[in-house]
Amino acid sequence: MHVQVPDSVSTLGPCGGCAHCLTCEARSRSICSVISPEHSARLARYSHRLSVPQGRSFIEEGQPAEDFFIVTSGHAKLFSLMPDGRRQITGFANTGQFLGLASGKTYAFSAEALDALTLCRFSRSGLSTLRRDFPALENRLMEEASRELVQAQSRMLLLGRKTARERLASFLVEQHHLQSGLDHRPPSDRTLTLPMSRTDIADYLGLTIETVSRTLNALQREHLIVIRFVTLITLLDLAALEAMARGD
Amino acid sequence: MHVQVPDSVSTLGPCGGCAHCLTCEARSRSICSVISPEHSARLARYSHRLSVPQGRSFIEEGQPAEDFFIVTSGHAKLFSLMPDGRRQITGFANTGQFLGLASGKTYAFSAEALDALTLCRFSRSGLSTLRRDFPALENRLMEEASRELVQAQSRMLLLGRKTARERLASFLVEQHHLQSGLDHRPPSDRTLTLPMSRTDIADYLGLTIETVSRTLNALQREHLIVIRFVTLITLLDLAALEAMARGD
DNA sequence: GGCGTGCCTTGATCCATATCAAGACCATTG
DNA sequence: CAATGGTCTTGATATGGATCAAGGCACGCC
């Protein structure tokens, strides 16, 4: 069990000078991979591990952007809300992902844990120090920003111009590529474990839950996918889904 | 008149060692503003001015991203295309804007001149050199990337969740803020000069030209705007438009 | 001035997706 | 095992914006 702290998240331990970075499971997939292991102590001095329970929010849009985060395990959703409650999920975050680039003085999005989540927190000043001391970090952050911008472009195309079928196909193919990159899976495994609800998928794709449900079932009827459980989907015809995602 | 060069753009002059950067009108609004004027010659060594006529494309999605650009005058549209011709404009670029952050090995978007456009071109290696020599550039590029990412989030919300009226209101308010930042305009001027066509507006907002036209006329009937000419629109009630843009 | 040619507007109709409304499923709890 | 409550599916209907189809208007060209 973890200990509650005022700002709605929980620390796993003080870790003031400990070497959590040396044993970090997310390291190879995060910006920290550019810092060699012998400098782990430096890294650890400016970062703190914390855990966030499922459903708990840990970044609030509009709040001063004082901290940056790296996801060390679990999944998060990043979203914007309109005053009447309309929601747009701007992205999902997996292990290794850096959070906070899309911020000026304040965060441009809110973030919430989809499942049990652990994070590594950096203060703005701590990260500045690290960036100064490890110039390779600068490049890696820039790459991260570029990658996110490229992704943002394709999401604009999806949200602005694709049909519901194309959106779902794009989503499934994207999840496949994300999950096939993971260590413990055989590359031929075409079964997805979705960490998010139908509501989240709808808010990610700019659709309603009904349309998501109906469209997934339509894809199943056409033998492109099999819905084994709500959160477990097998892609039967990846090439066809990729073609549909592109819109041809 | 300018000289045609193979890759469909035109150089204004060789400028090998000349000091175009010292007199650059875009400088104060671009990333170059972090480099002090006495280093202009260095800057000029790695950059080349070129001009692009209206309607000409100068970045092609999917091509190797060998060059970066800064808009020195005029306007450009950045967009993605689907195989069947559906188009999503991901952004418009004004004087000072840096182009090329949303790229890995290849460009993630195409770019085309909306009017007579002048650009400053940096090769990838030239920019790397400058980034090494002027560390302030690094920070400025990172800020630029953050700003673009914040903008991308709000565009996803617009494309995924806003109604046609809200999209047009958002667009008009955005154009107002962009144009009221310009030197030569009195801050109270609420008349916009739009550099883009109805088709471009539609492709920017994920709508059709008919819906753009109808919705603008509806806003005029409600005395929120006056359409003086196709490309000249006065905002009568900025507060109401801002509220509509937010969705409340 | 007349005449294309390209945009833009306006009207009529259609349709993909939203909305509204039950039900089904499933996990949890008493 | 029944009751409860959340999430998901399925069906019926509505609707915002797309599509189809004429015009209108401005600008360049002969």
The band of A21, judged by pLDDT with boundaries at 50, 70 and 90, is confident
The band of A187, judged by pLDDT with boundaries at 50, 70 and 90, is low
The residue written with tokens 């474990």 in the block is: A193
**Model confidence pLDDT, tens digit, residues B79-99:** 999 999 999 999 999 999 999
- Asked if B53 is an interface residue toward chain A (Cβ–Cβ < 8 A), one would say no
- Asked if B155 is an interface residue toward chain A (Cβ–Cβ < 8 A), one would say yes
User: Which residues lie below 8 Å from residue B235, measured CB to CB, with a gap of 6+?
Assistant: B172, B173, B176, B190, B191, B192, B224, B225, B241
**Model confidence pLDDT, tens digit, residues B45-54:** 999 999 999 9
Calculate how close chain A gets to B123, using CA atoms only, in Å: 17
Average pLDDT, integer, range A218-247: 97
- Considering only CB atoms, A161 lies closest to which of B82, B104, B248, namely B82
Looking at the DSSP bridge assignments, the partners of residue B112 are: B57, B77
Between B26 and B112, residue with greater pLDDT:
B112
Q: Which residues of chain B make contact with A140, given a CB cutoff of 8 A?
A: none
Q: In angstroms, rounded to a whole number, what is the distance separating the alpha carbons of residues A153 and A159?
A: 10
Q: Which residues of B4-16 are buried (b: 16+ CB within 10 A; e: fewer)?
A: eeeeebbeeeebe
Q: Which residues of B104-123 are buried (b: 16+ CB within 10 A; e: fewer)?
A: eeebbbbbbbbeebbbbbbe
Strand C reaches within 7 A of the A197 CB: no
* Helix boundaries (H) for A162-248: 164-180, 198-205, 209-221, 238-246
| Residue A209 contacts residue A89 (beta carbons within 8 Å) | no
Looking at the DSSP bridge assignments, the partners of residue A216 are: none
Q: What superfamily does domain A3-155 belong to in CATH?
A: Jelly Rolls (2.60.120.10)
- B13 has a pLDDT exceeding 50: no
Q: Mean pLDDT of all residues in chain B?
A: 91
- B245 has a pLDDT exceeding 80: yes
- Asked if A101 is an interface residue toward chain B (Cβ–Cβ < 8 A), one would say yes
CA of A231 to C1' of D10 (A): 19
SS (H, E, C) chain B: CCEECCCCCEECCCCCCCCCCCCCCCHHHCHHHHCCHHHHHHHHHCEEEEEECCCCEEECCCCECCEEEEEEECCEEEEEECCCCCEEEEEEECCCCEECCCECCEECCEEEECCCEEEEEEEHHHHHHHHHHCHHHHHHHHHHHHHHHHHHHHHHHHHHHCCHHHHHHHHHHHHHHHHHCCCCCCCCCCEEECCCCHHHHHHHHCCCHHHHHHHHHHHHHCCCEEEEECCEEEECCHHHHHHHHHCC
CA of A165 to C1' of D11 (A): 20
- Considering only CB atoms, B102 lies closest to which of A146, A206, A248, namely A146
- Considering only CB atoms, A84 lies closest to which of B103, B146, B248, namely B248
- Asked if B141 is an interface residue toward chain A (Cβ–Cβ < 8 A), one would say yes
Residues 114-173 of chain A with CB under 7 A from strand C are 163-165
Chain A residue nearest residue B146, CA to CA:
A102
Q: In angstroms, rounded to a whole number, what is the distance separating the alpha carbons of residues A119 and A73?
A: 7
Provide the pLDDT for residue A11: 47
Percentage above 70 pLDDT, chain A:
92
Average pLDDT, integer, range B61-89: 97
Q: List the Cα angle A22/A24/A30 in 5-degree steps.
A: 110
Domain extent listing, chain A: 3-155, 162-246
- A16 has a pLDDT exceeding 50: no
- Considering only CB atoms, A104 lies closest to which of B88, B102, B147, namely B147
Q: In angstroms, rounded to a whole number, what is the distance separating the alpha carbons of residues A247 and A232?
A: 25
**Model confidence pLDDT, tens digit, residues B29-40:** 999 999 988 888
The band of A9, judged by pLDDT with boundaries at 50, 70 and 90, is very low
A162-246: CATH topology is: Arc Repressor Mutant, subunit A (1.10.10)
Provide the pLDDT for residue B19: 65
Between B41 and B11, residue with greater pLDDT:
B41
The ipTM is 0.93
Q: Which of A77, A92, A157 to mutate to test the interface with B (most CBs of B within 10 A)?
A: A157
The residue written with tokens 């009937």 in the block is: B221
Nucleotides of C under 7 A from a protein CB: 7-12, 16-21
Nucleotides of D under 7 A from a protein CB: 7-12, 16-21
Average pLDDT, integer, range A109-129: 96
Q: In angstroms, rounded to a whole number, what is the distance separating the alpha carbons of residues B244 and B169?
A: 6
Provide the pLDDT for residue A96: 96
Contact B152 A149 (CB under 8 A): yes
Provide the pLDDT for residue A7: 39
**Model confidence pLDDT, tens digit, residues B127-182:** 999 999 999 999 999 999 999 999 999 999 999 999 999 999 999 999 999 998 77
CA of A32 to C1' of C16 (A): 46
Among the residue ranges A16-30, A131-145, B112-126, the one predicted with the least confidence is A16-30
- B216 has a pLDDT exceeding 80: yes
Q: Which of A106, A159, A208 to mutate to test the interface with B (most CBs of B within 10 A)?
A: A159
**Model confidence pLDDT, tens digit, residues B221-238:** 999 999 999 999 999 999
Q: Which of A149, A155, A207 to mutate to test the interface with B (most CBs of B within 10 A)?
A: A149
- B24 has a pLDDT exceeding 90: no
